[in-house]
Structure 1
Amino acid sequence: MLGAEAAGAPGRAGVTAAVAVELVHVFSLVHDDIMDGDPARRGRPTVWKAYGTGPAVLAGDGLFALAVQTLAETAAGPEALRLLSTALGDLVRGQADDLLFASRPWTGPRRVRPEEYRAMAEHKTGALLGCAAALGALLGGAPPATVAALDRAGRQLGTAFQIVDDVLGIWGDPEVTGKPVHADLRERKKTYPVLAALGSPLPAAGRLATLLESAGEPAEAAALIEKAGGRSVALSRARRCVDSAEAALAGVPLEGRAAGELRSLLAFLVRRDL
């Protein structure tokens, strides 16, 4: 993937990083489904629903242990594990904030503000994407500056991904998202479009706040979020995150094919059938 900086490094050096990150990703999803009480994922029963909470927790722990073992056996083991542990610490912090947001009010001084949500998204989702990019570079022999730049880019990509995912959770096609329409609104999730809409000076924001506090109809809430600008603000923020990722990548010497693939990914993140 990397250019002259990684000359002579095996082309498959990043595969180990990909395996480790995917193991952590699946581990986080298994535990996330338990915490959220989600009975299904992509139309299939979640692990805890199919086998019970105890076996699901153990399955997640086992995946995490395999990820650590996978990296520990590489030549860059200590540094690779440091990157992974930093990402995991951020992921746990982001998940904790996400859980705490559920107990905070929709309005008033204790409401969740969009900037708090962005910080949560960078930790919960961005940290793992940053780790994925950085680990591949590290195992490929890249210097620290390149590893750090890819980590920054990945974190911005992850934040953009989460915000676009929030938009899809309200207006997305169930055939694409794997979730029923308005799923996030039914679950009363404080997603970025909702928080952006509640901060709008438009009249629809006040009506939305009243509706949310009374557990109103999700379809009506979705219409009010759009009228208050929540959808457009969310997509605009996602694009700015992508711009930040591109800026981080600007000084990274990537091979032509790798650069093209990364930029295709940037474009896809803010498109995703919206």
Structure 2
Amino acid sequence: MTNEAPIHTALLRGPRTRRSAAQLLAEARARVEPAHRAVIEVLPAEIRHVAGYHIGWWDAHGRPADCMGKAVRPTLTLASARAAGRLADPAEAARAAVAAAVAVELVHDFSLLHDDVMDEDLSRRHRTAAWAVFGTPRAILVGDVLLAAALQVMAAEGSAGSRSVEVLTAAVQDLAAGQSADLAFEKRGEVSLAECLAMAEGKTGALLGAACQLGAMAAGAEDGVAACYREFGRQLGLAFQLIDDVLGIWGDPKVTGKPVGSDLRARKKSLPVVAALASGTVAGEHLAWLYRRDEALDQQAVAHATRLIEQAGGRDWTAAEARRRTEAALSALTRAEPDSDAEDDLRTLAALMTRRDH
């Protein structure tokens, strides 16, 4: 018997005592990062260099750095595997869960690269975005390679991998549809709240849903149970996006690492904006007029738009909808009948994602 068995068993069955979100994230990163790095290390040198910079492993000159994201998605994958663990071989389930977590993180890396290019955002995680350092063409190509690498990781799982590839590709399609709708909304005069919520669920909820579903599948969960984990992740992702939209307008850029007001300058139809536009209030009508103007929105106009959104109730509606979606996520988790210790982990992660300032 190898000394790895207790580690794998702990990964699948969950802890005996409740851990903080920081502990869960650190443990997941420690388990997933070596496999994540192994995928990146075999890429061509120029692709590898840009990918590692974007992920946060090194700076633009290749020197070691620590500018990585929180690893929320892989942590959700591992926690879902622990919660749904049904296989007789916990070591095999743990290995499959790590592979799924790596694939999900690669898709997330790909989506952020392309998202920054499309939005022309100059910063990511408190430093210059990859496209602004290495150029748009290279950033797009690296994103494409990371998506292909994610599918390769899942395909390597053999017969079980074919179903996982289906889940992951469906999530990518939903993500792309959501991103496409987000771009299209910028040029449309009217967007309904239902359309905006569907866009956000695809853009953000789809991958989080896949992260949880793939973790449950790695642990041998039946389709109905895995679907509950998918719903948990999708609803949690929508709550996350609702809060992210609030922070995009009212957050502190020193905390969020994102330029404040950029969405308003681009006249994006984020959820607080659409809620305000649909409010039927005087402030909402004034905001609609401001959004229809051809002139660029300067700093003063952005500040005025921010006040109008709040006066029209956009901020309050978004916060209330985030709470409702969080409750829907936790209801889906309860229906999955998870292991009690691992359920605590997932609830801790849900709280991290929905009670935040960055």
Normalised-by-shorter TM-score class:
over 0.9
1:17 counterpart (100, 121, 130): 100
Change (3 A) 1:4 1:210: closer
After superposition, give the CA deviation of every residue in 1:184-215 in whole Å (9 maximum; x if it has no partner): 21232111001101111332212222233334
Does the 8 Å contact 2:84/2:221 carry over to 1?
A: no
Change (3 A) 1:89 1:3: closer
- Residue number in structure 2 paired with 1:243: 327
After superposition, give the CA deviation of every residue in 1:63-101 in whole Å (9 maximum; x if it has no partner): 112111111111411111111111111111111111111
Change (3 A) 1:118 1:250: same
Does the 8 Å contact 2:85/2:216 carry over to 1?
A: no
Does the 8 Å contact 1:9/1:141 carry over to 2?
A: no
Moved more, 20-29 or 140-149: 140-149
Q: Does 1:271 align with 2:339?
A: no
RMSD: 1.7
SS in 2 for 1:250: helix
1:87 counterpart (167, 171, 177): 171
Q: Structure 2: which amino acid aligns with 1:2?
A: A
Does the 8 Å contact 1:150/1:248 carry over to 2?
A: yes
Does the 8 Å contact 1:235/1:270 carry over to 2?
A: no
- Residue number in structure 1 paired with 2:345: 261
Q: How does 1:184-223 map to 2 (within 5 A)?
A: 184-214=263-293, 215=297, 217-223=301-307
2:202 counterpart (123, 131, 135): 123
Output the CA distance in 1 between the equivalents of 2:194 and 2:341.
Answer: 35
Q: Which runs of 5+ in 2 are unaligned?
A: 1-81
1:167 counterpart (226, 246, 249): 246
Output the CA distance in 2 between the equivalents of 1:151 and 1:4.
Answer: 15
- Residue number in structure 1 paired with 2:65: none
Change (3 A) 1:118 1:196: same
After superposition, give the CA deviation of every residue in 1:232-267 in whole Å (9 maximum; x if it has no partner): 000111111111111111121322232112112222
- Residue number in structure 2 paired with 1:108: none
SS in 2 for 1:2: helix
Q: How does 1:132-171 map to 2 (within 5 A)?
A: 132-171=211-250
Could you state the TM-score of these two structures normalised by the residue count of structure 1? 0.92
Q: Structure 1: which amino acid aligns with 2:338?
A: L
Q: Structure 1: which amino acid aligns with 2:283?
A: A
Does the 8 Å contact 2:229/2:332 carry over to 1?
A: yes
Q: Structure 2: which amino acid aligns with 1:270?
A: T
Change (3 A) 1:32 1:69: same
Give the C-alpha shift of residue 53 in structure 1.
Answer: 2.0
Output the CA distance in 2 between the equivalents of 1:3 and 1:28.
Answer: 27
Q: Does 1:56 align with 2:130?
A: no
Structure 1 stretches of 4+ with a deviation exceeding 6 A read none
Moved more, 164-173 or 35-44: 35-44
Q: Structure 1: which amino acid aligns with 2:203?
A: K
Output the CA distance in 2 between the equivalents of 1:203 and 1:22.
Answer: 43
Give the C-alpha shift of residue 3 in structure 1.
Answer: 5.0
Q: Structure 2: which amino acid aligns with 1:59?
A: V
Q: Which runs of 5+ in 1 are unaligned?
A: 106-110
Does the 8 Å contact 1:24/1:63 carry over to 2?
A: yes
Output the CA distance in 1 between the equivalents of 2:186 and 2:138.
Answer: 26
